[in-house]
Amino acid sequence: MTSRKAIIIGSGIGGLALGIRMQSLGFDTTILEKLDGPGGRAYVRRVDGFTFDMGPTVITVPNFIEELFALERGQPRLDQPDFPDAMLREPRVTAGISGGPHTSRYAQIIPILPFYRIYFDDGTFFDYDGDPAHTRAQIQAIEPGDLEGYERFHADAKAIFERGFLELGYRYFGNLPSLLAVVPDLLRLDAVRTLFSFTGRYFKSDKLRQVFSFEPLLIGGNPLAVPAIYAMIHFVEKTWGIHFAMGGTGALVRGFVRKFEELGGTMRYNSEARRILISDPRGGTPSRYGRKVARGVELANGERLRADVVISNGDYATTYMNLIEPQYRLFNTDARVRRMKQSMSLLVIYFGFRADGLSLDLRHHNIILGPRYEELLRDIFDRKILAGDFSQYLHLPTLTDPSLAPPGHHAAYTLVPVPNKAGDGARIDWQKEGPRLMDTVLRFLDERGYIPGLCERIVHKSFISPDYFEGTLNSFVGNAFGPEPRLTQTASFRPHNRSEDIERLYLVGAGTQPGGGTPSVMMSAKMTARLIAQDFGLS
Ligand SMILES: Cc1cc2nc3c(=O)[nH]c(=O)nc-3n(C[C@H](O)[C@H](O)[C@H](O)COP(=O)(O)OP(=O)(O)OC[C@H]3O[C@@H](n4cnc5c(N)ncnc54)[C@H](O)[C@@H]3O)c2cc1C
């Protein structure tokens, strides 16, 4: 019997993870990628001897990676527990090699400590490493009165983690009743209040409220708007640590591609999908109300590829609005898609600099907070204006892996949250503002002493802006993380992994359930694989 054919549009981490899972389910899978290499947001920029991971750098839940590398053709293991007891019993990783035996055949993953160094605008900092004793000592130094609040925060965030992540993380919310069933628990845990106001129940210090609420920004969430269920990120990190793939996240992506190909999958680069082919199951002319079936994909060069199942790993909004003609979409209409609030965008600056005689106080992951927190977030998410001040996440991977830069140099990137191009955000001219903001941020790092003499030492600088997310990654209004994670766009309110409009069409990745971030898109792949297995009678 010939195998069923699957096409996945997009080779982001979610697309690759699902590719591996589809091969394990017995499909013959082709991944179509618009760019000339894999990874999507995790694409790698190589220039002047520097290797820059363009996107994700903070790797969490290495067990999810191990699960993928352990899969084999015909052994999808979808019925195994998502969080085996052993995974929860593991002691917190402090050093050495993380990941498991299967991972180590494809990539070398190591824990990073501290997880983050968080700098406040007055130059003081907080090292977060998940160690409660160390955390308490630092709280004591900032605001001794908040120690008792931290104990309560810890207990409550743990309860949210256990209910929200361990029990519901892999649950697919296909309809409202499935969500309503868990609402009483979430209300009891106060997990639907916004995260920033949630932290206000525990911490008097502004600095500590920032420390315990900034993390959703790493997946496009506004701490003033995400539900407190995202307090679980704190616990996910504390439980399984933060890790780095030696050679960069790109090395992990290459490992996923290798695994996918070893299982028989096919990668096709420079292959942009232009249209998802849809037909009426009865073979007639598609009618507005008939049930429609995805049959394949048409590429930008006109080539048509047939498949039994089509999955889009591309942006949710552009998948529906650009790849599927409106007459096939009763649910995901243009109006509905446009109503969703998209996550913020980013200016990401990649830079390489001479390291001779330089002593740096920075860590591998640094959050450098600006003078304003709440108002800056409102500028970015609500008012959509480019403020004069900024906060940033500075990644300095050469502290861990010097091979990413030529000898005697560092490779770094710094990421500045900026408005997306919806509403007034469309007025920002990134051709003009991009270079200006890049130079301002680099000068700031130099003048504030984070990297003394940086402007003199720089040998490479380049940036991406909302224009890149929109034009190169096909992301609606230049969003960097898909639809914004907020209560009204979470669980069953988030775009569904099984299309409501078209049979045999699925979506996977940051725009769908459960959401953005590398562990979530790997979860999204597992949830989608389960739906496909169910629909094809394979489970
Ligand atoms: C700068 C940055 C830093 C981040 N840092 C972190 C971090 O440290 N930790 C973390 O966990 N998460 C981080 N994230 C979020 C994380 O990177 C994403 O949530 C995740 O990688 C998204 O994966 P995805 O599967 O949704 O696919 P994407 O990475 O969005 O990939 C989608 C792919 O589809 C392709 N595509 C789109 N349309 C078409 C088409 N028509 N035809 C063919 N191909 C198409 C695109 O080219 C792209 O390759 C970061 C994101 C960014 C932007």
Cα–Cα distance between 315 and 479 in angstroms, integer? 9
User: Listing from the earlier edge strand, what are the strands of the sheet with 242-245?
Assistant: 59-60, 242-245, 109-111
Whose C-alpha lies nearest to ligand 1, atom 33?
10
Cα–Cα distance between 341 and 477 in angstroms, integer? 10
State whether the beta carbon of 470 lies less than 6 angstroms from ligand 1. no
The domain ranges of the chain are: 1-114+130-271+332-341+483-539, 344-476
Q: Which atom of ligand 1 is nearest to the CA of 509?
A: 26
Pocket test for ligand 1, best of 41, 321, 342, 415 (most atoms within 8 A of CB): 41
| Alpha carbon of 22 to ligand 1 centroid (Å) | 19
Whose C-alpha lies nearest to ligand 1, atom 17?
56
State whether the beta carbon of 233 lies less than 6 angstroms from ligand 1. no
Question: For residue 220, what are its two tokens?
Answer: 């496009």
Q: What is the pTM of this model?
A: 0.96
Question: For residue 240, what are its two tokens?
Answer: 């399984």
- Whether residue 9 contacts residue 314, with contact meaning beta carbons closer than 8 Å, is answered with yes
**Half-sphere exposure at residue 341, Cβ-oriented, CA atoms within 13 angstroms:** 20
The DSSP symbol for 379 reads I
Contacts of 288 (CB under 8 A, 6+ apart): 327, 330
| Alpha carbon of 41 to ligand 1 centroid (Å) | 3
What's the first-to-final CA gap in the chain, in angstroms?
Answer: 19
State whether the beta carbon of 434 lies less than 6 angstroms from ligand 1. no
Crossing angle between the packed helical segments 62-69 and 249-262, to the nearest 10 degrees: 20
Give the angle subtended at the CA of 330 by the CAs of 497 and 13, to the nearest 5°. 20
Whose C-alpha lies nearest to ligand 1, atom 14?
56
The domain made up of 1-114+130-271+332-341+483-539 has a fold known as FAD/NAD(P)-binding domain (3.50.50)
Cα–Cα distance between 56 and 242 in angstroms, integer? 12
- Whether residue 167 contacts residue 235, with contact meaning beta carbons closer than 8 Å, is answered with no
- The number of residues in the chain equals 539
Pocket test for ligand 1, best of 232, 299, 313, 395 (most atoms within 8 A of CB): 313
Q: The tokens 């992994």 sit on which residue?
A: 497
State whether the beta carbon of 518 lies less than 6 angstroms from ligand 1. yes
State whether the beta carbon of 14 lies less than 6 angstroms from ligand 1. yes
Per-residue pLDDT in tens (0 to 9) along the chain, 539 residues: 568 999 999 999 999 999 999 999 999 999 999 999 999 999 999 999 999 999 999 999 999 999 999 999 999 999 888 887 777 765 555 556 677 899 999 999 999 999 999 999 999 999 999 888 999 999 999 999 999 999 999 999 888 888 888 887 778 887 777 777 777 888 888 878 899 999 999 999 999 999 999 999 989 999 999 988 888 888 888 888 999 999 999 999 999 999 999 999 999 999 999 999 998 655 555 554 467 899 999 999 999 999 999 999 999 999 999 999 999 999 999 999 999 999 999 999 999 999 999 999 999 999 999 999 999 999 999 999 999 999 999 999 999 999 999 999 999 999 999 999 999 999 999 999 999 999 999 999 999 999 999 999 999 999 999 999 999 999 999 999 999 998 888 888 899 999 999 999 999 999 999 999 999 999 999 999 999 999 999 98
